[in-house]
Structures are given as structure tokens and as C-alpha cells.
Chain A
Amino acid sequence: MTDLIIQLLSAMNFVLVLIMVAMGLMIIFGLMNVINMAHGEFFLLGAYTVVMTNRLGIGFWPALVLAPLTVGFIGMLIEYICIRHLYHRPLDTILATWGVSLAIKQLIIIIFGPAGLTVAPPLPQMVTVAGIEYPAYRVFIMAIALIIIAVTFYIFLKTDFGLGARAVIANRDMAATLGINTRRMYRTTFAFGSALAGLAGAVMAPVMSCDPQMGLGFFIPAFLSILVGGTGTLYGVLAGGAIVGGGDSLLSFHFSPVAAQVVIFSLAIFLIRIRPQGLLGSKKP
């Protein structure tokens, strides 16, 4: 029983953070038709911001603010330097962002070395959840991920900016003819999506070993979540993230991480075969 609760809690942990990462990826893809292959590296940059703040001796908490800001800024820079030139060739943006991901990864290796690094847990105490002892920091992760997910939903469903963004997702040309500056929206959105990944990375840094390859471990499931859930809708990401993240996490407990990946991946491919638009998707892939 205790085991089951622990498993469920850590599955929830993974799912919520995964949704954070996947939302950024989805928003960028939905708006700009750009699959940001460097999204995992934005997560990575967020995690290494924590490594940095630890080395600077200012501890973990400043990184929570610093990571999304820095990574958002880097995202904006990358949009300005390379992606902006490729909007008329969307397939090439995959290659370009992927070159960016290689470069970022290597830069991290040059600065921090290829080995895994750990940072001290910022909240070492335990709390009691559903009758069992559970690390307080894990609870904090879930709380912050939930807040961020809620805020993102609010922004996209309730604000004027969100209305504009959804209009661009639904029909880019029409939104432009109504006077919406799509380019500016792209840049803002790219920065926002990057910042989400950066924050997710920072939040996860204390519970993972930070190594230069960690981004891929979130990028692929995040992408599968979008495929499974369907593009064009934020709710799809919730469903997809829950299925992919939850499945992966729970299967890893019972079998092995590799078996879990194989099962989840095969399931995802099978699902796409029978329902190409994803579970909740409206747009065709």
C-alpha cells in the first residue's frame, strides 16, 4: 500500500513536470509550426542555472526566478538569430534548432564537464502525505508545476494575449489580416515556451543528476505526449502527459525503464496509427 502511494506520487511528479515541458513545446509548435528540437536543452539550461547558483553560493531559490528569465531570454535570442529566417521553410527549423541543441549541449560540457552533477536538496525535510513520509521538496515540485500549468491555462484561455495566440494557432493568415503582429507573437511565445522548459529544468535539478544528456529524457516523452494528446489544444497536453508520463513512470517501477519506454512508445505509435489527430486533437498532424 505504501509502495503504491509512493509510486503514484512520483508518477504524479513526473507527469506534472512533463506537462510543463510539453506545454511549452506545444505552444511553440501550435503557433509557429516549429518543432523546437532544442526544447530539451532549454530544460538542461534551466537545470544548470541551479548548478550555477549553487556554485555562486546563493543557493537554490534564486534560480527559480533566474532560470525562466535566462532561458526565456536565450530562447528569444535564438528566435531572433536563427528561427526568424526559417519561417517560410518550417522543416528546416527542425534542423536548425537541432544544431542549436547540439551547440548548447556542448557548451554545457565545455563549461561544466560531461559528468553528472548533483545539487543539495533545498528542502531536506520530510512531510506526511496520505499517511506516508514523503520528501517535502517533491511536494513543492508538484505544487509549483500545478501553479504554472494553471497560470499557463489562464493566460491562453482568459487573457487577450491568449485570445490572439489561439487565433494565430487556428488560422495564422486570418489573424494577421485582423492586425495581429504574428512575428511579435512568435517571439513572445518562443520566449514563454523556453522559459517554461527552463523553469521545469530548474525545479527538477535537485532531484536528478544534472548531466548534458538529461534534456533528451524530457524532450522525447514531452513530444510523445503532444502526439498522443493531439496538437492545437492545451487539454490534449494534459491527457497526453498523464498517459505518457504516468505510464512511463509506473511501468519503470514494475519492469525496467527500457521496457517502459518501449511499451509507451509502441503504444503511442499504435495510437497515432488508429487516431492520427491524437486523443483530443482537432488539427491533423
Chain B
Amino acid sequence: MLKISNLHTSYGGSLILQGIDLKVKRAEIMVIMGRNGMGKTTLMKTIMGLLPPQSGKIELENESIGGLKPHKIAAKGVGFVPQGREIFSDFTVWDNLRLATMRYPRKKRCVPEKLFEYFPILKERKNQRAGSFSGGEQQMLAIARALVANPKLLLLDEPSEGIQPSIIQEITRILRAINKETGITIVIVEQNVDMILDLADTCAFLEKGRIADTCPKDALQKDDSMITRYMAL
């Protein structure tokens, strides 16, 4: 599904990603872990086309998407939930969702009803200003927005950041459900160990701009030495 090989990216004059190799299978939930400053956000932004890769390949279903503009990558079926959510806080919830349909011709612009089954709160508060939402509600909106255009691949950058535990659990549950029902592939960058263990099929560990290790979640549950090794400060 997603295949990244030998990816290098610089940001602000220094090389952050120094040869990423990563394979994500269809319908898999892959969690990428690592300490701050290891290049997790840079990796997400590079996949999404917000940062230009210096060298290396990014392939989505055997089609190279490395170096394309973000809107082209979105059109290939990648949805993105950035760090800090980045919802349009002055817009209504509905406008936030509608934005993701702008790439289609006018008549085909619609927000799928199915979305509101996962996120009923968004339907209730359709006309409310998104900025008035709590952090968790904003995160749900950001995820819903990324799903509006039915992507094949969903990228999430630290979805648990600054959100209260009960909502993290709910978001985890929803993501699981969506993954099961639609077969969407999900790549998440995350530091919250509980969420990781709840959600992941496979875990990858990012260190110093490289994928240092990957392992299935089951192995991680039995032995958490890997987590302490790559995550402990």
C-alpha cells in the first residue's frame, strides 16, 4: 500500500530524515513512535507533500507520489490530520468539512452521511464555530474532515496531544471501527503508549531520522523493553 524507501528530507537547513524505509500493508494500522526531534512530523509532512523530499521514494499503491504537491497527493487518496489539529477555527463545522470536497466539480461536492454515524456530535453542532469546540471535539472534527473525501490512507500526527484520556479512548475506538468497516490504511505518529497498544497492528520506531525497528503489536505487549528503549527520555 504505502512504501517508502531511502527517504531523505531536510528542514530548516539540516537533514532530518536520513534514509527512511517503511512498508505499510493495506488495511493495516501502523504506529510510528519516537522521541521528540526524531523526525516524526517531518516524515508525515513529507508523505503529504508539505516538505519536498531530498531523495528517496514514496509510493502509494505502486505509484510514486514523492515530490507531488499536497493537493495532488490528497487527490490520490491520502487524508491528513496534522499535529495540533489545525482546524479552521473561524469557520463553522460544516464549512470545515465542506472544504475537503472543494476539489470535486460543484455537483459532486457532498459530505458523506456515514461520517456522522462515527461522529454524531458533528451533526448536532454543524453550524457552530469550530473554534468554540474543546480540544477533543476539534480532534474529531479534524479526523472527520480528513475522511470526507474517502481516502485510502489516513495520516495522523499525534492525535492524542493535549486531549483528555476519555476522549482519547473514544477516538481510538472510532478509528478502530472505521479501519475495520472500510479497510482504510492508517499511519499514526504517536507518543501515548496506551493509545498505541490499543490501536496498532504494527509499530515502527523512529530514531535519528531512520526507522530503527519494527515489530507487531503482540510482541510489544509481551515485552515493553523496546518502548522504554526508544521512548524513554
Chain A positions near chain B (C-beta within 8 angstroms) = 160, 163-164, 166-167, 170-171, 173-183, 282
How many CB-defined contacts (below 8 Å) exist between A and B? 69
Segment 60-80 of B: residues with Cβ below 8 Å from A: 69-71, 73-75, 80
B91 touches A166 (CB 8 A): yes
A164 touches B70 (CB 8 A): no
- Asked if A163 meets B86 with Cβ closer than 8 Å, knowing A177-B74, A179-B74, the reply is no
Give bound CA distance, A60 to B55, whole Å: 58
Q: Which residues of A contact B71 (CB under 8 A)?
A: 176-182
Give bound CA distance, A285 to B190, whole Å: 34
B42 to chain A, nearest CB (A): 14
| Interface majority SS (helix, strand, loop, mixed), chain A | helix
Q: Is B108 an interface residue (CB 8 A)?
A: no
B91 touches A180 (CB 8 A): no
Give bound CA distance, A282 to B99, whole Å: 21
Give bound CA distance, A217 to B102, whole Å: 39
Give bound CA distance, A173 to B95, whole Å: 17
Give bound CA distance, A183 to B100, whole Å: 17
Q: Is B230 an interface residue (CB 8 A)?
A: no
Q: Which residues of B contact A170 (CB under 8 A)?
A: 88, 90-91
How big is the B interface, by class? Answer: 20 to 34
B95 touches A178 (CB 8 A): no
A152 to chain B, nearest CB (A): 18
- Selected A-B contacts with CB under 8 Å, 28 pairs: A160-B98, A160-B102, A160-B109, A163-B95, A163-B102, A164-B99, A164-B102, A166-B88, A170-B88, A170-B90, A170-B91, A171-B86, A173-B70, A174-B82, A176-B74, A177-B80, A177-B82, A178-B71, A178-B74, A179-B71, A179-B75, A179-B100, A179-B149, A180-B71, A180-B99, A181-B71, A182-B71, A183-B69
